[in-house]
Chains A and B, each alone.
Chain A
Amino acid sequence: MYMILVGGGNVGLQLAKRLLAHNHEVLVVERDPRQYQRLCSLIGEENVFLGDGCEMMMQKEAGFGRADVVVAVTGEDEDNLIVCQMAKVVWNVDRVVARINDPSHEAIFQQIGIDDTVSATGIIYSLIEQQITPDLMLPVGALNRGNIEVVEVELSSRSPVVNKKVRDIALPHQTMIVWILREDHGLMVDGDTVLQAGDTLVALVPRSSAEDLRQLLLPVKVV
């Protein structure tokens, strides 16, 4: 696949290295000449393009028209937004991914149709939140472009499903508990498995049902 990365800072560089290792055709677009030189020496000049990735003429030269994926990972949200929007609207790129630096901008990215966003600040925040507050459902991955979430839930003794058989729990539609971590051992799950306090469940859940699952597994919050 042909993947264009706009922004050759650390995020762009590390991502490019990984994608190249997986034999993708990669082009990193970087406008700063010094950073461009550095990238050339690190990943080879055939994989780097000097220019402003927001300019349409540069986009044409860089081959946006035949890109399978465009990823915008500069440090500026406005640049990432416009690059992704132009990739979609002007060049009909199938898949665009934007890095978001300020989590409060997530909504506007979604509203203009950029569904795939990665907010490092948001992820770090939710990891810290998970560490300091009990009874959270933690997203660990996403399938089908985020329509299916892979979630991890640690059951405390206050969870309403503790000591129940899996078959007796009314899981939301199309939701599955796939695996349990119990005292360092992984358990396969069937209808007869009895959930215990301290279990860490891994479940697949459609995004639309994630909130239902959370309410089912976690104790009702006393505010």
Chain B
Amino acid sequence: MKVIVFGCGRTGTTLSLQLAKRGHEVTVIEQLPQAVRRLGPDHQCKIVIGSGLDDDVLEKAGVQHADAFFALTRGDNTNLMAAQLVKIKYGVPKVCVKVADPLRADAYRKLGYFCISPSSLTAGMMRDWINEEPYGIIDTYNQLPPELEI
């Protein structure tokens, strides 16, 4: 698959290297040239420096032919805007968004976006660990904890 990863932080790096190793064609979009050094010297990814909110940058990264797009910068709003841009404007079939704020993740899940909320995942697994409860499947963690509902 042709995959675009927007954001070469820790999550973006880890995902890009794994996908490239499994034979996917990975393009990484990253603002900061120094950040892509995280990928190490031997990576198989194509790199485009710039913002994933910029049409020119997205097109340079091949968004028109991409099968999947991951929005993984540290900015929730940047990720959510990029996700909507590539889904609505470019029709990318699979879009995954990292959204730290569990409430915002929930709101955009209801709008049809596949949002992963690291805060909810981490907190949920820590809760089960300290309570010595068996770990659940991902969906039990990746949803809005009722305690946060407003």
Contact = CB atoms under 8 A, between A and B. Distances in A.
Interface string A117-129: 0000000000000
Interface stretch (A17-25, A106-114, A142-150, A191-199): A106-114
**Chain B facing A: main interface SS:** helix
Given A108-B89, A111-B89, A79 B77 contact: yes
Nearest to A60: B150
A72 to B, nearest CB: 11
Interface residues of B, number: 20
Interface in B134-150: 150
A86 B101 CA distance: 13
Given A57-B150, A111-B89, A78 B53 contact: yes
Given A77-B81, A89-B111, A54 B76 contact: yes
Contact of A90 (B77, B82, B107): B107
Contact of B103 (A57, A104, A105, A112): A57
Nearest to B82: A78
Nearest to B89: A108
Interface in B49-106: 53-55, 75-78, 80-82, 84-85, 88-89, 101, 103-104
Interface in A69-112: 76-79, 81-82, 86, 89-90, 102, 104-105, 107-108, 111-112
7 contacts: A54-B101, A55-B101, A78-B75, A78-B80, A82-B81, A108-B85, A112-B88
Interface of A: 54-57, 60, 76-79, 81-82, 86, 89-90, 102, 104-105, 107-108, 111-112
Given A78-B82, A90-B107, A104-B54, 20 more contacts: A55-B101, A56-B103, A56-B104, A56-B107, A57-B103, A57-B150, A60-B150, A76-B77, A77-B53, A78-B81, A81-B77, A81-B80, A81-B81, A81-B84, A82-B104, A89-B111, A104-B55, A108-B84, A112-B84, A112-B88
